[in-house]
Amino acid sequence: MLLRPLEPEQYTSVLYTDRIDEFGVAPSIGTVGDSYDNAMAESVMGIYKTELHRNPAALAANGGPWKGLDDLEIATCAWVSWFNDERLHSELGDLTPAEAEDDYRQRSQPAVA
């Protein structure tokens, strides 16, 4: 029996699953080595497509329409940075994801004697 080689994405999936566990997200589906639920990722991809690609005003504000893959990759990196470090999220108490994660880490640290 031939087994396919281990792909780099499988490592990402394991790390992603570990991160989901760390935040206490309840699993809905999954097997060993993959994330529990793609809904979270699919939701973010929907936001990305709307805010960076399908919305004409957002497209123009972000340098689109793209002339090639390199332009789209650069715009994607900028959008991810903005989404994590600048965009305020009402579900996070009007914090950015980075601020909410920092706050969570600080609250999760055991008190130093």
| pTM for the full predicted model | 0.54
How large is the average pLDDT for residues 65-85? 85
Owning domain of residue 20 = 7-37
Confidence band, pLDDT 50/70/90 cuts, at residue 3: low
Indicate if 98 and 45 belong to the same structural domain: yes
- Structurally, the chain folds into a number of domains equal to 2
Q: 62 and 12, same structural domain?
A: no
Q: What is the per-residue DSSP string for 26-90?
A: PP-S--TTS-S-SHHHHHHHHHHIIIIII-HHHHHHTT-S-SSHHHHHHHHHHHHHHHHHT--BG
What would the two tokens of residue 48 be? Answer: 């990305």
The answer to whether residue 72 sits within a structural domain is yes
Please, are residues 58 and 51 in contact by the beta-carbon 8 Å criterion?
yes
DSSP 113: -
Give the model confidence (pLDDT) of 9-45 as tens digits.
445 567 767 777 888 776 555 555 455 556 667 777 7
In a domain? residue 76: yes
Q: Are residues 20 and 53 in the same domain?
A: no
